[in-house]
Structure 1
Amino acid sequence: MKVVEKQIEVRYAETDQMGVVYHANYLVWMEVGRTELIKQLGFHYADMEKEGIISPVVDLQVSYKKPLHYGETATVRTWIESYDGIRVTYGYEILTPDGEIAVTGKSQHVCVKRDTFRPIVIRKYFPDWHEAYERAKK
């Protein structure tokens, strides 16, 4: 299984009054990790959008374990948890500077036509992505 890591420096604007990362910012970091994974597989989500295909989140699970604080560097680990040719579930771990798990999560996505919101079969529309996802999930 291919796992991609991306470093994120915690900015002041991402924290609450206690100096702890505000919970919704982890979702943004998951998107950063997902984008990096797709990039390392050789693709760009923007290219899919140019073809009239979007990939909305249909399910999201997040579990908060330890806080991250302003000035620390988080490591976002991202991988393909499951893929069936229509749905993709990405897995995430966000680590503290000491390598402890701060957050775990999963997000499930389905590719749809932008104008009709009907799901597509990725293998048919984007065979190169399909092959890359099949290889990366193993």
Structure 2
Amino acid sequence: MQNGSGGLSDGSRYSYDRYYSNYIPIPDLRFTMLSPINSDFGILWGFGTGESGDKYRIDPSLQIGFLYIETLGDNEWLSLLVSTRLFGYLREKSCTANYGAVGGIQTVNCRMADSLMAPSETLEYLENRAPQDQFTVSLRYQFRF
């Protein structure tokens, strides 16, 4: 999200980095561990640290799930991994923009302040979404030769 730039009324450009750089130069770190229950089954668990900047926040997250492995032969396996990530939402904050004599000072989506849309309409496009890996299901066949 931090790549890009916007335009000012005088024609100059500004970088989104000042809004979308994280406070601490460490991105959202995620850790996933496997606790084996037996040789075929294990519990996945983990967490994400979260991240925040001036105009966004990624909430900390928890991950839970399981891994089941079925041995089909000496060199072949079928595995099923199912997991979910709780929390970890990305939330984007608005900016204040000065549109001068045309529109005055208004609240706007920072990334869309120089678009052709009315400033109030850009607020509908503020990000507020779940993590992309909120639900994961993976079925894998493996054969080694």
- Please confirm whether the aligned pair reaches a TM-score higher than 0.5, indicating the same fold: no
Q: Name the larger-Rg structure.
A: 2
Q: TM-score with structure 2 length normalisation?
A: 0.25
Q: TM-score with structure 1 length normalisation?
A: 0.25
Which protein, 1 or 2, shows the higher relative CO under an 8 Å CA cutoff with sep ≥ 6?
Answer: 1
Give the structure with the larger helix fraction: 1
